[in-house]
Copies of this chain bind each other. A is one copy, B any other.
Amino acid sequence: MTAQPVLINGKWRASSGADSFQATNPATKEQLSEVYPVSPWSEIEEALTAAATAFKTVRSFSGSRFADFLEAYAAEIELRIDEIVEAAHQETAYPISPRLKDGEMVRTLDQLRQAANSARSETWTLPTIDTKTNIRSMLGPIGPVAVFGPNNFPLAFNSISGGDFAAAIAAGNPVIAKGHSSHPRTTQLFAEAAQNACETTGMPDGFIQLIYRTSHEDGAKLVSHPLLGASGYTGSRHAGLVLKEAADKGGNPIYLELSSINPVFILPGALTERSAEIVDEFSASCLMGTGQFCTNPGLVVVKAGEQAESFIAAVAEKFSNAPAGTLLGEGVERSLRAGIVAIQRTGAHIVTGNQPVDGDRCCYANTLLRATGKSFLEDPAGHQSEAFGNASLIVVAETDEEMLRIAEHLEGNLTGCIYSATDNSDDALYDKIGEELLQHVGRLLNDKMPTGVAVSRAMNHGGPYPATGHPGFTAVGIPASLRRFGTLDCYDNVREHRLPTALQNNNPHDDLYRDIDGTMTIDDIA
C-alpha cells in the first residue's frame, strides 16, 4: 500500500523513507487503513533547507502577512471541520461532541485568530525606544521552528494547528511540523488546509512543512541543526529530555512541556466547609478526558482526620462508579499501569481501581491510591511518578508542618492548587504553603481544579524544570507565547527609513504599545 505523502518545500510528495506505520483506533484496537511514512534524514535536511530559504523571504514581511495567513488558514479549517473531527475521533477515541467539535476545534480556531491579531498589531515584539541615545529594540523572528505535537490534543496542540504552531508563525517563522504518530490523518488534513492558505496568501514554499515520524536520532539532529531557529515540544519527559540535550548542545532554544502531576492541597477548613463540592470537582477534573491532560490533578494532599477519610471514601465511590474512559493507545495504557506500579512501590495503597476493564479497547480502571505524608517524605520522587491517565494519589499528612514539608519536596509542575475555607480561617497555613508551592509551579490556583487552561494573555502554561525547560516562558497565552520564538533585535543609530516600521517615529498601529523613554504609549515620537 502506498504511504501518504509528506509536505516538503510546498509540495505534497511521496516520502523517500522505506519504513512506514499505521495509526490505531483506541476504541477498537484496530489499525486504521492509511499508511504513513517514516521520514529519513535526507528528507528532514531538505525541509530544513527549504525552511531556511522561506525564512529569507518572509523575514522582511510585516506582521500583517502572517496574520493574513493565520486567518486564511482558520477559514480553510472551518471548511473541513467535520472531516477533521471525524479523523481525530477515529484516531483518539475522543467524542466528537463536546470534546472535539465544540471544545478543541473552537479553541484551535480561536488561538489561530488571537495569534493573527497579535501578529498584525505586533504587540508581542515589546518595542523599546531610547530617544536620547537613538537605540531602539524589539523582538524579531528567530528562524525556522520545529514543532513536535503531543498525543493528547489532536487539534489544539497539533504540531501544525496548535498553540506552538500559531505562536511560531505569528512571530514570523517558518514551521517544520513533526506530527504525533497517533493521529497522522488529523494532522495531514490540517496540513492540507494550511498549505492551501499558504498558496492563497502568497507565502513561499517551505513556509509550513509536515513529516509524520522520524527516528529519535534524526529528531535530535533536527533540533540541534544550525539552520533551525528553535523548537517547541510537548510530550513525555524522557523523549523531551533527549531532544533538550541535543538542542542545548547545538545552542538552539527548545521550549518543552514535559510531565506534571499538578498537586492539589486541600486545607482543613475547606474540607470541613465543602467536602462534597470538592469531591465532585476533583473527580470530574481527574477523570475528564480519561485524565489525559497535562494539568490533570495527579496528587492531592489532605490532613489526616475523619474529614480526610470521608473525602477519600467519597472520591473512591465516584471513581468506581464512573465508567473507565478510553485511553489514547496501548502505549498510554502501558505507561499508566507502569506509573501506578511505580507509585505502589513506595508503599502507597490502592483504594480503588488498578485493574483491566475491557480488552476490546485501550482502557484501565479509574484508579485511586493513598499514602501517608511520612511515606511521601521518605521517597518524594517515587510518590511523584507520573501516572498519565485516570489515576491519582491522595497523600494524608499528619500535621500542617508535614503538609508544608510535602510542598517543599515537590518537583517542578505546571500548576498547583490550594483549596481553603471561604472565611479565610485557613490563611495562616495558606500563607506558608502558598509561598512554598509557588516556587514549584508555573500557575498557582485557589479553589479550583487545574484542568482548564484558558487562552488568556495572563495565562502561564509553563513552570520550573522538569515541567518545562525554562521557567520564564509560557506555551499558552497570547501574545506571551509568541516571545519564545523571537530574538532581541537592537538598532543602534540606524537610519530611520531602514528601521522596522514598529520602531520608526510614527507608530504604525493604533494598538501597539511602545516603551518610549520608559513611558508605555501608542503615541508617535514627535
Contact = CB atoms under 8 A, between A and B. Distances in A.
A65 B430 CA distance: 24
A248 B251 contact: no
Contact of A488 (B250, B469, B474, B490): B474
Interface stretch (A8-16, A72-80, A436-444): A436-444
A518 B457 contact: yes
Interface in A480-526: 480, 483-484, 486-495, 497-498, 511, 513, 515, 517-518, 520
A465 B251 contact: yes
B498 A434 contact: yes
A439 B228 CA distance: 12
A173 interface: no
A445 B494 contact: yes
A162 interface: no
A458 B135 CA distance: 6
A238 to B, nearest CB: 14
A204 interface: no
A493 B137 contact: no
Given A245-B249, A472-B486, A494 B446 contact: yes
Contacts of A297: none
A239 to B, nearest CB: 16
B515 A487 contact: no
A458 B128 contact: yes
A518 B513 CA distance: 10
17 contacts: A59-B435, A130-B459, A133-B456, A143-B439, A251-B465, A434-B498, A438-B489, A444-B492, A445-B492, A445-B493, A445-B494, A447-B493, A458-B515, A460-B488, A462-B488, A474-B488, A520-B520
